[in-house]
Chains A and B, each alone.
Chain A
């Protein structure tokens, strides 16, 4: 893959297959996935449990390597990158929001948000982290540890952390799954606001049809295959 990051799609999957497990327990999870996601586009990934949504998200984020096919993200063929380069690439290009937040319990909110910036070697990591937390309305929670924050606040910190390095792509795995309805809405607003303001590509795994409908396109998965894309 050439360095044509400005011209090509944000994410391009071609003929992607992935199986997990060993021996008799081996399961073919992703089957011949072809998918192009444009720059600045918002995509909803929907489908029943076990259809492969989260696994597809992990493949896009470079967290799982496909058994076959190509995965290109921001112009880079991920299968050609070694583990360390891939980690740094992810840190700068992909922001991830998890269903279970996954904040680092021994770090304050500010430090959590600064992690990807520090790992990328950015000098004013803490200043930028402070701005990101202010943007999600947590200026007064900078020095709180995750256990001192509510679930909604923790997920806001997670969103701020995902947005902080100004990544080209945000992937979110059921980001409202562990939150009540009102709090969930606030998080979604934050994610879409970030997407609109920064022109980032947003890939959202969700069970919620209403939430999926807010995306420009919705990709439906069933048994590891793309069952349909609306609008096509």
Chain B
């Protein structure tokens, strides 16, 4: 027979058939592989399914959350008759006013409340549920001089009052007639610092809180006629409103983006959790690589035999690649299935208490994507060892080979590995919410891998070149670190990634806690006082200084305004940087000043003189201006109280936001708002932070003397934000926990893979007279040296990553929190030594004779 006549085997399924045949023997050696891929895929599938379920809930309930098909919000003023007429022409209108105020119980106890004053049409969509059940109109109705109110149960608990109790808000008396069990449009209002108090608009007017310049928002919700209620119709009407009434300056939202802030937060958080999931996959990938390498090492005879029987190197590669991908697929499917359960589990366990419209569903696209991540991760880490299988020499069947030196796979396999790495990175970046964060992540992950490989290589070089110690144990330990097929690279990689992640999370956690629990309260003022009527501001200042003589009061005029256009471009058409977009999203507090405000410094341009009388000028916060693409001399149009005011950017300031003092993105020249009614905003700061007792006493006396002024206790607000941050950190910790499990598994797997050679070494050394203690000491020293070197890197790497996230992405100050990081690193070293010695101890228990007979 001639070689020219040899046809290429046609069986396309041959590789699959052989791959499956090999798997019939079970998944021995693949357990770490399976768990790693399943865990990573589960994390990604779970997070993305949950986010998709949430997005679906937000979309499905958009008009309920928004309170209408469209919502038009005005700040500090009600709609003009022509504006109201425009809305009424297009459908049914319901209005609601929201503002913060102080509610006082009959015993004088005050508390901050979020008032919502509704009309008879409220709600246009959804249901307001009262406890006890009843009609909302009835509950809010006026009876003699007293108006009805419906209160969040938290408010009733805080004031220690029950149904029927009277509370004072401003100049009005309200009777709490029911508890608010559910409020359909609660989500659109964002985070409230106080509990809700639902009243009628007559009641709100009776309080006297609505004054020119009060911080009240008027929301006009529109229900389109049933025959014209499409998303497209809603959007078209929004455009028409902007065109026909350009001076209105209202913030218009349609039901398809009922809560853009929440959606953005969900997406941003999903991205962070996906990154943690990806990290789990990458750490697990090291385990995949190890598992594939050990598997192929065990199959060298089979591979050589197949090649002796006519299988080409390419065929061998195809068979084992198929096998690895079949296992990865099965593991990924299990992981994706577990991840798919997450939204259902959360809805089942916490559905009643989470204030989000979660619609649990199977999101096949998200699950397939998670599966794709899992498969790609497996491919990235398996291709290199698989490529080596191509060149397993058949000659091994004829002569005993000492463990052959691993060598580079052929170029085509190196290229395939590189391509799959690029595809994985591209996928992670392309599908991310914030590409910048994704690119930083990919670069950091790549750097961590390369650095850890370099550290392992360096460690091996140092061990090789170190002077030979006289102590046998130490000499053996050093030799074990650098000998061919030493465990050093694997341990360094898995342990290093694990410690790096652990330290990153610990440092971020510690810094956020420090900010919210310790530093901010110390630096921040104790109170914000809102809505101080301009004509009472000096009396207010005198009163507060008498009550709190040591505290420092700062008071500034405050108006609210929306940016209509900047640098000649309409706000809707601006393309701001991610960290500056919030400025355009709703109205912002603005002020005017003659001098540079405290807590900020001039970085560009010149400040206007105290007696400046020219056209309006504005000072912009530098980072936000950069984010909006603005420069000195650009014009900014701001709508204040229904008037568009055009100002020129005269200078830029850097602001210390963390001080939580009074800071504004935009500070105007004093002549810009001449004649515009406005109130004042004040902060009160006790030197060295306020004591709870003096703060409570002050809030009571201010509430009694100035019922129109709203006091926000910063500690309470920080607690509210802090508890949200704590929940987020908890979720990150949960997801990171998965990664740490993966890291521990990979480490355990690597140590177990080295177990066979440990048994061999231990038996030989025992026959040569080594005691158990000496062997344990040698192996313990080896693990300790590798673990300590890796832990040091992990601490540095993790701290750097945390600094990058806290300082560069979150823009908060970063202080290295040493002890938890050191404790984590020590714990990781201890785990390595214990895991390693546990395996070694088993090896030491082996009787030499049976093993020597089989050598």
A34 CB, min distance to chain B CBs, angstroms: 22
Considering the complex, which residues of chain B in the window 372-419 have a beta carbon less than 8 Å from any beta carbon of chain A?
393-395, 397-399
Contact of B310 among A5, A75, A100, A116 (CB under 8 A): A116
Beta-carbon contact of A120 and B1 below 8 Å: no
Contact of A64 among B310, B315, B395 (CB under 8 A): B395
Contact of A3 among B4, B301, B313 (CB under 8 A): B4
Binds A, one of B7-15, B191-199, B432-440, B524-532: B7-15
List the A side residues contacting B23 at CB < 8 Å.
106
Is B430 part of the binding interface, using a Cβ–Cβ cutoff of 8 Å?
Answer: no
Binds B, one of A53-61, A130-138, A214-222: A53-61
Quick one: CB contact mask for A68-91 with B, threshold 8 Å, 1 for yes? 000000111000010111011111
Beta-carbon contact of A119 and B14 below 8 Å: yes
Beta-carbon contact of A120 and B9 below 8 Å: yes
Beta-carbon contact of B3 and A89 below 8 Å: yes
Beta-carbon contact of A118 and B308 below 8 Å: no
A119 CB, min distance to chain B CBs, angstroms: 4
Contact of B6 among A64, A85, A161 (CB under 8 A): A85
Least CB separation from A53: chain B residue: B398
Distance A15 CA – B558 CA, assembled complex (angstroms) = 100
Is A142 part of the binding interface, using a Cβ–Cβ cutoff of 8 Å?
Answer: no
A87-B311, A90-B308 known; A118+B11 contact, CB < 8 A: yes
Contact of B308 among A5, A61, A83, A120 (CB under 8 A): A61
Beta-carbon contact of A90 and B310 below 8 Å: yes
Distance A102 CA – B300 CA, assembled complex (angstroms) = 11
List the A side residues contacting B17 at CB < 8 Å.
118
Beta-carbon contact of B302 and A89 below 8 Å: no
Beta-carbon contact of A104 and B302 below 8 Å: yes
Least CB separation from A88: chain B residue: B6
Is B305 part of the binding interface, using a Cβ–Cβ cutoff of 8 Å?
Answer: yes
Quick one: CB contact mask for B263-276 with A, threshold 8 Å, 1 for yes? 00000000000000
Is B21 part of the binding interface, using a Cβ–Cβ cutoff of 8 Å?
Answer: yes
Beta-carbon contact of B25 and A106 below 8 Å: yes
Is A168 part of the binding interface, using a Cβ–Cβ cutoff of 8 Å?
Answer: yes
Quick one: CB contact mask for B21-35 with A, threshold 8 Å, 1 for yes? 111110000000000
Considering the complex, which residues of chain A in the window 114-169 have a beta carbon less than 8 Å from any beta carbon of chain B?
115-116, 118-121, 161, 165, 168
Contact of B397 among A85, A91, A98, A120 (CB under 8 A): A98
Beta-carbon contact of B305 and A104 below 8 Å: yes
Contact of B398 among A58, A84, A116 (CB under 8 A): A58
Contact of B311 among A55, A76, A91 (CB under 8 A): A91
What is the predominant secondary structure among interface residues of chain B facing chain A?
helix
Is A96 part of the binding interface, using a Cβ–Cβ cutoff of 8 Å?
Answer: yes
A74-B2, A85-B6, A91-B311 known; A102+B397 contact, CB < 8 A: yes
Distance A178 CA – B732 CA, assembled complex (angstroms) = 60
Is A35 part of the binding interface, using a Cβ–Cβ cutoff of 8 Å?
Answer: no
Most chain A CB inside 10 Å of its own CB: which residue of B2, B17, B399? B2
A84 CB, min distance to chain B CBs, angstroms: 4
Beta-carbon contact of B302 and A96 below 8 Å: no
Contact of B2 among A5, A87, A111, A116 (CB under 8 A): A5
Least CB separation from A102: chain B residue: B305
Least CB separation from B304: chain A residue: A102
Beta-carbon contact of B308 and A106 below 8 Å: no
Is B846 part of the binding interface, using a Cβ–Cβ cutoff of 8 Å?
Answer: no
Is B307 part of the binding interface, using a Cβ–Cβ cutoff of 8 Å?
Answer: yes
A106-B25, A119-B310, A119-B311 known; A63+B3 contact, CB < 8 A: no
Contact of A111 among B21, B301, B395 (CB under 8 A): B21
Contact of A98 among B3, B10, B21, B398 (CB under 8 A): B398
Contact of A92 among B1, B313, B393 (CB under 8 A): B1
B11 CB, min distance to chain A CBs, angstroms: 6
Is B808 part of the binding interface, using a Cβ–Cβ cutoff of 8 Å?
Answer: no
Is B306 part of the binding interface, using a Cβ–Cβ cutoff of 8 Å?
Answer: yes
Is A48 part of the binding interface, using a Cβ–Cβ cutoff of 8 Å?
Answer: no
Beta-carbon contact of A84 and B21 below 8 Å: no
Is A107 part of the binding interface, using a Cβ–Cβ cutoff of 8 Å?
Answer: yes
Is B309 part of the binding interface, using a Cβ–Cβ cutoff of 8 Å?
Answer: yes
Is B312 part of the binding interface, using a Cβ–Cβ cutoff of 8 Å?
Answer: yes
Considering the complex, which residues of chain A in the window 19-68 have a beta carbon less than 8 Å from any beta carbon of chain B?
54-55, 57-58, 61, 63-64
Beta-carbon contact of A88 and B308 below 8 Å: no
Least CB separation from B26: chain A residue: A106
A84-B313, A89-B3, A102-B305 known; A118+B398 contact, CB < 8 A: no
Beta-carbon contact of B2 and A102 below 8 Å: no
List the A side residues contacting B307 at CB < 8 Å.
87
Beta-carbon contact of B312 and A83 below 8 Å: yes
A76-B3, A92-B1, A92-B6 known; A161+B309 contact, CB < 8 A: yes
Contact of A88 among B306, B312, B398 (CB under 8 A): B312
Least CB separation from A90: chain B residue: B310
Considering the complex, which residues of chain B in the window 55-72 have a beta carbon less than 8 Å from any beta carbon of chain A?
none
Is B314 part of the binding interface, using a Cβ–Cβ cutoff of 8 Å?
Answer: yes
Distance A201 CA – B210 CA, assembled complex (angstroms) = 108
B507 CB, min distance to chain A CBs, angstroms: 48
List the A side residues contacting B7 at CB < 8 Å.
121
List the A side residues contacting B10 at CB < 8 Å.
121
List the A side residues contacting B21 at CB < 8 Å.
106-107, 111
Beta-carbon contact of A102 and B308 below 8 Å: yes
Least CB separation from B6: chain A residue: A88
Most chain B CB inside 10 Å of its own CB: which residue of A61, A100, A118, A119? A119
Considering the complex, which residues of chain B in the window 478-525 have a beta carbon less than 8 Å from any beta carbon of chain A?
none
Beta-carbon contact of B309 and A119 below 8 Å: yes
A84-B314, A87-B311, A111-B21 known; A57+B4 contact, CB < 8 A: no
Contact of A115 among B306, B314, B395 (CB under 8 A): B306
Least CB separation from B301: chain A residue: A102
B303 CB, min distance to chain A CBs, angstroms: 10
List the A side residues contacting B14 at CB < 8 Å.
118-119
Considering the complex, which residues of chain B in the window 137-181 have a beta carbon less than 8 Å from any beta carbon of chain A?
none
List the A side residues contacting B9 at CB < 8 Å.
88, 118-121
Most chain A CB inside 10 Å of its own CB: which residue of B23, B305, B307? B305
List the B side residues contacting A54 at CB < 8 Å.
398-399
Considering the complex, which residues of chain A in the window 155-189 have a beta carbon less than 8 Å from any beta carbon of chain B?
161, 165, 168, 173
Contact of A83 among B3, B313, B399 (CB under 8 A): B313
List the A side residues contacting B305 at CB < 8 Å.
102-104
List the A side residues contacting B306 at CB < 8 Å.
104, 115, 119
Distance A102 CA – B1 CA, assembled complex (angstroms) = 26
Distance A86 CA – B1 CA, assembled complex (angstroms) = 13
Beta-carbon contact of B1 and A74 below 8 Å: yes
Is A209 part of the binding interface, using a Cβ–Cβ cutoff of 8 Å?
Answer: no
List the B side residues contacting A89 at CB < 8 Å.
3, 6, 310
List the A side residues contacting B8 at CB < 8 Å.
88, 121
A89-B6, A104-B306, A105-B302 known; A173+B1 contact, CB < 8 A: no
Is A223 part of the binding interface, using a Cβ–Cβ cutoff of 8 Å?
Answer: no
List the B side residues contacting A102 at CB < 8 Å.
301, 304-305, 308, 397
Distance A88 CA – B23 CA, assembled complex (angstroms) = 25
List the B side residues contacting A100 at CB < 8 Å.
397
Distance A121 CA – B12 CA, assembled complex (angstroms) = 10
List the B side residues contacting A83 at CB < 8 Å.
312-313
List the B side residues contacting A5 at CB < 8 Å.
1-2
Contact of A106 among B302, B312, B314, B398 (CB under 8 A): B302
Considering the complex, which residues of chain B in the window 337-381 have a beta carbon less than 8 Å from any beta carbon of chain A?
none
Most chain B CB inside 10 Å of its own CB: which residue of A5, A87, A116? A87
Least CB separation from A99: chain B residue: B398
List the B side residues contacting A98 at CB < 8 Å.
308, 397-398
Q: Would you mind naming 7 contact pairs between A and B with Cβ atoms under 8 Å apart?
A: A54-B398, A55-B398, A91-B311, A105-B25, A106-B22, A119-B14, A121-B9
Q: Add 15 more A-B contacts to A111-B21, A119-B315 (CB < 8 A).
A: A5-B2, A54-B399, A58-B394, A61-B308, A63-B395, A81-B3, A89-B310, A93-B1, A104-B305, A105-B302, A106-B25, A115-B309, A118-B11, A119-B310, A121-B8
Closest 4 CB pairs of A and B: A91-B310, A121-B9, A84-B312, A87-B312
